[in-house]
Amino acid sequence: MEFKKGSISVIDDIFTQDECSRLIKYYNDNFDRAIIRPDYRNLKFLEIVSHYDQKPFDDFCKKNVSKIMDWMDYRYRIQRAHIERRHPGSYMKWHLDSAFDLTVFTSVTYLNDDYDGGHTVIRPHGDETDDHNIEIVPRVGRTVFFHGAYHDHCVSEVSGGERYTIPMWYMTMPPDLPDKHKWWL
């Protein structure tokens, strides 16, 4: 998939129900490594690819993250990825992704849909109202791709159950990288 700055794409079934369940189990089995973000209402996330290291933590993460990369044009590489769990009452305010200067786009993959709320909402660039917002309804294995530094977006409040997702941020691949499958450096 070639990604254009203003586009928003939704692809279903990148992961099967079983793969999503195993990723949730992986998160819960490795919870002791999860990072707590008090600035996001104690959001707990498990880093699986870091911009500091660029290598997946282990072969399990590499295998699963590579399924998302199979949909991508190989001009991109993962800048950061993690599995996150949002509890009831958690949400993300409207924002633009600004953590990294080189970020070209973002994706969110839903690992479960047995919770209430927790929708990703995207406001098209330049729209100052909520009249044209795009609400992504969670579905197991669904991935939404969009330019997170271009489109304002938020996560509505999770009102019941726990929401598990894999958010990822991407940058353009260095042109001199010889191995097209080397999406981590």
The CATH code for residues 8-172 is 2.60.120.620
Q: Residue 109: enclosing H or E segment and its boundaries?
A: strand 103-110
Rounded Cα gap, residues 170 and 81, in angstroms: 9
- Average pLDDT, stretch 57-79? 67
**SS3 assignment, position 148:** coil
- Average pLDDT, stretch 98-113? 82
Rounded Cα gap, residues 9 and 121, in angstroms: 13
Q: pLDDT digit string (tens) for 25-49?
A: 988 888 777 776 655 555 667 766 6
Q: Residue 46: enclosing H or E segment and its boundaries?
A: strand 43-49
Rounded Cα gap, residues 144 and 110, in angstroms: 9
Sequence ranges of the domains in the chain: 8-172
Enter the pTM of the model. 0.82
For residue 169, the model assigns a pLDDT of: 83
Confidence of residue 56 (pLDDT cuts 50, 70, 90): very low
11: which strand partners? Answer: 143
Is residue 12 pLDDT above 90, yes or no?
yes
